[in-house]
Structures are given as structure tokens and as C-alpha cells.
Amino acid sequence: MKKALLLLPMATLLILPGCYYDNEEELYPNSFCDTTNITWSGAIQPLVQSSCAIPGCHVPGAQSPDLSTYTGVQANAAAVKGVVADGSPFYMPPSGKLPACDQQKVRTWVDAGAIQD
């Protein structure tokens, strides 16, 4: 009888985890990358301004190319894609690789023609 009373709580503990439903977005909050509507002003410009066109880097009078404007980024879109997203040996920004989602956004935008919205 004592064994049965001991086995009941143990069996319950073993069965309960089987009723758990994982939500992928909650378990891996940074794994979802929405690339369905990548625009210059909505995704690429803020990324460039925070990672590339910063003082001492790709701005007028500093490193070339100047990426402080859409024209500069669009004219160098293939190079930007190569350096930022496609594994060029010269990773930029100097702080390290961009997150995978940001890399994918750059790839998607350039592959779609690097158009300004």
C-alpha cells in the first residue's frame, strides 16, 4: 500500500510534462526574422545609421564608401551585401557581425533591387 501511494505522485510527475505545449516564439524569441516587407526607411536605413554610417566610419570625410545617404548605399549595394551579409572576410561593422536577422534583411533588400520606398 505504501508503495502504491509513493508511485502515484511519481507517476503524476512523469505524466505532467507530456501535456506541455511549446510555443517556438516564446522559447526562441530572436529566431523569427520577418523579411516579407523590407524597406529602405523601415529596416535598412536604421540599420545603416546604427552600424555603418557612424562617426569615423562610412560618413563624408571618413572611410569610403559614404553610406550616410540612400544614394551611397544603393550605389554600393552589392558590396554592402557582400561585406555585411555574405561572409566577406572583411566583416563590418568593426564591432563584429550583424545578427543573422539583420544580415538576412540586407540580403533580401539588395536581392529585391535595393529600391527606396
Tell me the domain boundaries of the chain: 40-111
Sign for the pseudo-dihedral over CA of 61, 63, 69, 71: positive
Preceding omega of 29 cis (within 30 degrees of 0): no
**What does 46-65 look like in DSSP terms, one character per residue?**
HHHHHHTSSTTSSSTTSSSS
User: b/e map of 66-84 (b: 16 or more CB within 10 Å)?
Assistant: bbbebebbbebbeebbebb
Q: Are 91 and 105 in contact (CB under 8 A)?
A: no
| Cell, residue 79 | 558590396
Quote the pLDDT of residue 15: 67
Rounded Cα distance, 16 and 44, in Å: 46
Quote the pLDDT of residue 7: 73
Quote the pLDDT of residue 111: 95
| Consecutive 10-residue averages of pLDDT for the chain (117 residues) | 68 60 60 88 93 87 91 93 75 72 93 92
Quote the pLDDT of residue 67: 93
Quote the pLDDT of residue 84: 82
